[in-house]
Amino acid sequence: MASTLPLLSLLPALAIAGWAAFSPSTALADGMPVGEGLDTEELKRLVHQDCGSCHGLTLKGGLGPDIRPETLTHYEPDILETVILDGIPDTPMPPWRPLITQEEAQWIALYLLNGDAQ
């Protein structure tokens, strides 16, 4: 009996250690960079195939204008996100809201602004 007692008394300590090991990663999840949980490969494909069908595969422009970072400098990320979600009325630039989430539009906006899309 005496030999099992030290083991049992260790259990709460282990539980606390386990919780402590877990909590930093849970806390990190809140501050994760945009893109966490998104299918970014699929979004990249969308940018180059679907946006690219008008803006050019390399986004240099086609039917739609050049949307490389140097031409988007006047955009705040949240404005760009809105342009992507709502389109530009009375132009061929379509609203993407029916197809993508707000989070995905935010990711695309940052992808375009950061120049990763080139």
Which of these ranges, 6-14, 20-28, 32-40, 88-96, lies near ligand HEC under the rule CB under 6 A?
88-96
Measured in degrees and rounded to the nearest 5, phi and psi for residue 85 equal -70, -40
CB of 35 to ligand HEC, least distance (A): 15
Find where tokens 């992507």 sit.
84
Among 35, 40, 44, 54, binds ligand HEC (CB under 6 A): 54
In angstroms, give the least distance from the CB of 89 to ligand HEC.
9
Q: Given the structure tokens 């955009």, which residue do they identify?
A: 75
For ligand HEC, the binding residue among 29, 63, 79, 114 (CB under 6 A) is: 63
d(CA 50, CA 55): 9
Left, alpha or beta for 51 (phi > 0: left; psi -120 to 50: alpha)? alpha
Chosen residue from 23, 49, 53, 102 binding ligand HEC by CB under 6 A: 53
Residue 34 CB coordination number (10 Å): 16
Residues that bind ligand HEC (CB under 6 A): 50-51, 53-55, 63-65, 67, 71, 80, 83-84, 88, 91-94, 96, 108
